[in-house]
Amino acid sequence: MRTTATVAMAAMLLPAIPATAQVVQVPVPPSAAVAPPVVMPTMPLPQLSDAQASQLAALLARDTLAQGLAVAAPQPMDAAARDRLVRDALDHARAVHAGRLAEADFQRDWGLRPPVFDPLPGFADAVKRDRIAAWFAALPPPYSGYDGLKAGLERYRSIAAAGGWSTLAAGPDLAMGATGARVLALRQRLAVEDADVAASGSSFDAALVEGVRRAQRRYGLNPTGTVAGQTLAALNIPAAARVRQIMANMERWRWLPQQLPRDRIQVNIAAAVLTVFDGDAPVMSMRAVTGRPGDETPMLSSTIHSVVINPPWNVPTSIATKELWPKEKASPGYFKRNGFRVIDGTRLQQRAGDQSALGRYKFDFDNAFSVYLHDTPSRAKFASFSRLASHGCVRLEKPADLAELLLKGDPAWTPEAIAAAVDKGDTVRARLTKPVSVYLLYWTAFASGNGQMNFRADPYGWDSTLASKIEARSATQLIAAR
């Protein structure tokens, strides 16, 4: 049974993307890629019957494409080569269940790792009980978010195979009342992804305005109903690039545990949205500000253990050196005016209060990247559809609401007690009686409840990088297996 709540909900509730849509370009996999280490079987390979070998060959041929492990259809499997067929099945199972990448393929800021998975015992049992198809069906991540991407992958592969869509020509903005060939081309383009848009007609009427708005929401753009630069760029991303984008996001689902914690906080980094889940249901959502390109917010999982009220800001050395010391030099007294003090002659700390970059709340969780969730005195960015502007931490639109929710049920931290502590101004650490899991994730493609695919830009270039790594690893694994 598939879990209905998805991490992608966070992006669906309050969409946002950086200022320009980006084409997802995937380089040709390097021919010199290092093959993954050979995994020695932990037990003898099972012996297949003729019928099982034929069934397994057919399942592998179909599922390699369906699970987004290859761009092109693989060579037909040879049911007669039993041992090789079994080894191919085991490799496929590892890739579908725990991801295609080897440890060396992960960037440092991709701080999620799938658990080690040995498919052989389960496969041997499936062969013994003649339940190979059921074993195959149970391999993918057990989430509706993954299922939605899988269905979207099939659809966008079909669109790409049929020639994709034509590039819309540049020109003046298209809005209500426009007419001509560019409007007709716009209709035809929108109709590929939206059955409610009429593909014929050369006038920009009210129905087309709504079709454009739906498209803009799917791409995380401001739904103005006018086709300007950002909308045109998003519409002109090729269908083949969307296929690779979906594949990259499917891979990231495989890095998650097979069962997410019932109570959890999820941040979609690419969409800059935080969602709180109670079991399978989202109970709170808010806009966030995440890391700008160059100061990427890492993917990770951890546990929020405390809320710091009125936190001081211990300025990272890199920010102090590159940004704050030059400001003090250019305008002496900058530190004093903004509440900074110098510690040990080099370190900077900003005192708690209204000026603090961390605002009135900080949500602490252990991680190797020194990032956290926090309040901010700078509120203007939350109104923007482009909210990648931090140094890597996650700024929150409604931190007081989150603090109250996390501390709910603790008699020492009623809403009144929290407000009194904030007003007093002293720095206080409120430890959670029930720590809450937190996931920082990077979703740029996801399906809505009706199956409609939604896309976001790839601000960090991680889709392109990951898609190329998947293809390279698949190619070298194939060579190693032969």
**What is the set of active-site residues?**
374, 393
CA dist 406 to 265, 276, 373, 411, 438, Å? 10, 10, 13, 12, 12
- Which segments within 347-386 are labelled E, that is strand? 347-350, 361-365, 373-374
Phi, psi of 97 (to 5 degrees): -85, -35
Phi, psi of 472 (to 5 degrees): -65, -45
Nearest in space to 365 (alpha carbons), one of 414, 318, 298 = 298
Handedness of CA 141, 145, 151, 157 (dihedral sign): negative
CB contact at 8 A, 459 and 388:
yes
CB contact at 8 A, 24 and 245:
yes
Handedness of CA 421, 422, 426, 430 (dihedral sign): positive
Nearest in space to 304 (alpha carbons), one of 210, 432, 415, 393 = 432
Report the C-alpha gap between 302 and 436 in whole angstroms: 9
CB contact at 8 A, 390 and 369:
no
Three-state DSSP state, 306? strand
Residue type, 186: L
Report the C-alpha gap between 427 and 309 in whole angstroms: 6
Report the C-alpha gap between 107 and 424 in whole angstroms: 43
How far out from the chain centre does Cα 416 lie? Answer: 36
Nearest in space to 203 (alpha carbons), one of 175, 231, 162, 161 = 175
